[in-house]
Amino acid sequence: MFPGIGTGLDCPTRSFLPEFTTFSLTASPHMNRLAFPCLLLILFLAASTLPARTRNAGLGPLEVRNHYPVTHAYLWMYPENTATLPDGEALTSYSFSMANTFVNTQGSTQKITKTEYDRGIVASDFNSADTGQAVPNLGLYMDVESYRQNFRFKYGFTPSVELSVEVPFLTLTGGIMDEYVEAFHAIVGVSDGEQEGAYREYSDRNKFGYYVARNGELLVADDSPIYGDTFLGMRGDTSLGIKWNLWEGGRIMPAFTLKLNYKVANGEKTDGGQVSSGTDDRGYMFTFSKGFDPWFVYFGQGMTSFGKNPSWVSDSVFHRFISLEWMMFSNQSLVIQNVIQTSIYPAEGDPKSNIPEEVLNYNLQASTALIMIGYKIQIYNLQFDTGFVQDYSNRGNETDFVVFFDAGLRW
């Protein structure tokens, strides 16, 4: 059921570890493929100078999934704590995430601007500006602001096993964040007329657009926001999970947890499949954590496999993350987190062949890279998380900016 996972559950470390060690992830052109292991080594070398303690999990990493518009319809594994809820204890939580995404693969040649949007974007708008022929592989125009509200229930089934269920609600609009993102770009010296600013300058603010083209054919064309029938938005697919804390670790060895998820296709499916994929997905995530007073280090990797998807969407994606948590007080922490994931788009074509500028500017098949910074606090039975996410790979296959908030009650 879960690709890449052994069946010898009576000896998990021997059956799971080979899959873990053979995993590889291709870095984007702007990232050194050694960056992740080097960062991991630096953190552990630094942590080794601090006094070790047997508690190997704090408040946990930032539990934020991907918010790129194409991914909303699918299951997506995300970082979680190695610790599970105590036996018989439950957690009910609500999270709200607002994400801003803008991609215009025709921006460098200005083949698609506010003029084409107002007229109605057509397949020929994605043709090469030099030859007039269809651009090989994918072309995108996405101006999407998503609001994802997620209701989650967790239950400590045994001292080391935790069960969970999640139900999301989605709204996809033109939003309100464009001017704030552009203002931030101006402060840090990013030009909105260049690729680093996603060519936002050539499009109107806060107008919804969701267009996908490939080899001269318009696959998805939608300029109508998706609100749903309730004030929460349109209901997405329910996901079920089980997390198994295989080992709590000790003074030297880290804690080790396996998380399995299964998405049930019961949401409201739109014509473009933006909210529900209409099929079941499955995924897994291995997570390790180690405590060094007052720091906790978390790292993990996993995979999400999609049950059925269009030919322009990958069959599966791999995830890897590393998180550093600083416990400011016993109930408060600051977290910085790096997440690397393979692209939602499959590899296509020959990268060594002569390809037009529109394809060269956006390597949509490259791995994505995100930096996350957040604050976590627990007050009696209440817990709160908040923070933001920033894409720094800038390849057009990841959300530009996300702000999130999570509130939960343990009982």
C-beta of residue 326 within 8 angstroms of C-beta of residue 357: no
**Residue partners of 108: CB distance under 8 A and separation at least 6:** 195, 199, 357, 358, 361
Per residue in 119-144, pLDDT tens? 999 988 888 877 778 877 788 999 99
Residue 315 CA to residue 2 CA, distance in Å, equals 13
Alpha helices in 61-140 (DSSP H): 114-119
Residue 52 CA to residue 201 CA, distance in Å, equals 51
The CATH number assigned to the domain holding 52 equals 2.40.160.40
Q: Is residue 201 part of a domain?
A: no
CA distances to 221, 250, 285, 302 from 20, in Å: 39, 21, 10, 8
Share of the chain above pLDDT 90, in %: 51
Q: What is the pLDDT at residue 3?
A: 46
Residue 21 has pLDDT above 80, yes or no: no
Identify the CA nearest to 210 among candidates 115, 274, 118, 123: 274
DSSP at 137: S
Number of domains in the chain: 1
Residue 56 has pLDDT above 80, yes or no: yes
Higher pLDDT: 337 or 106? It is: 337
Residue 23 CA to residue 244 CA, distance in Å, equals 21
Residue 4 has pLDDT above 60, yes or no: no
Provide Rg for the chain, Cα atoms.
21
Higher pLDDT: 49 or 278? It is: 278
C-beta of residue 104 within 8 angstroms of C-beta of residue 113: no
The number of angstroms, rounded, from the C-alpha of 383 to the middle of its chain's C-alpha atoms is 22
CA distances to 159, 170, 243, 330 from 84, in Å: 7, 28, 7, 18
The lowest-confidence range among 87-101, 214-228, 286-300, 326-340 is: 214-228
Higher pLDDT: 153 or 185? It is: 153
Identify the CA nearest to 225 among candidates 264, 173, 180, 182: 173
Higher pLDDT: 240 or 231? It is: 240
Looking at every residue in the chain, the average pLDDT score rounds to: 84
Q: Is residue 137 part of a domain?
A: no
Q: Is residue 376 part of a domain?
A: yes
- Element at 19 (helix H, strand E): helix 12-21
Residue 22 has pLDDT above 70, yes or no: no
**Beta-strand pair 90-104/401-410:** antiparallel
Using the CB atoms, write b or e for 233-255: b if 16+ within 10 Å.
bbbbbbbebebbbebbbeeeebb
Q: What is the pLDDT at residue 45?
A: 54
pTM of the model: 0.82
The helix/strand/coil state of 10 is coil
Q: How does residue 1 score in pLDDT terms, banded at 50, 70 and 90?
A: very low
Whether residue 346 is preceded by a cis peptide bond, meaning omega within 30 degrees of 0, is no
Per residue in 184-238, pLDDT tens? 888 888 887 777 778 888 888 889 999 999 888 899 999 989 898 888 999 999 9
Say how many C-beta atoms besides its own lie within 10 A of residue 167's C-beta: 17
The domain of 284 spans 12-97+148-170+227-410
Residue 26 has pLDDT above 50, yes or no: no
- 376 - beta bridge partners? 333, 385
Q: What is the pLDDT at residue 14?
A: 38
Q: Is residue 294 part of a domain?
A: yes
Q: Under the phi-then-psi rule, with left for phi > 0, alpha for psi from -120 to 50, and beta for the rest, what region is 406?
A: beta
Residue 322 CA to residue 37 CA, distance in Å, equals 10
Q: Is residue 121 part of a domain?
A: no
Higher pLDDT: 314 or 216? It is: 314
Identify the CA nearest to 370 among candidates 401, 347, 407: 401
Residue 297 CA to residue 338 CA, distance in Å, equals 12
Q: Is residue 41 part of a domain?
A: yes
Q: Is residue 109 part of a domain?
A: no
Residue 367 CA to residue 365 CA, distance in Å, equals 7
**Residue partners of 299: CB distance under 8 A and separation at least 6:** 40, 287, 288, 289, 320, 321, 322, 323
CA dihedral (34, 337, 347, 283) positive or negative: positive
Q: Is residue 69 part of a domain?
A: yes
Looking at residue 285, its amino acid is M
Residue 395 has pLDDT above 50, yes or no: yes
C-beta of residue 98 within 8 angstroms of C-beta of residue 402: yes
Per residue in 345-383, pLDDT tens? 987 655 455 555 555 556 788 888 999 999 999 999 999
Cα three-residue angle 217-221-223, rounded to 5 degrees = 155
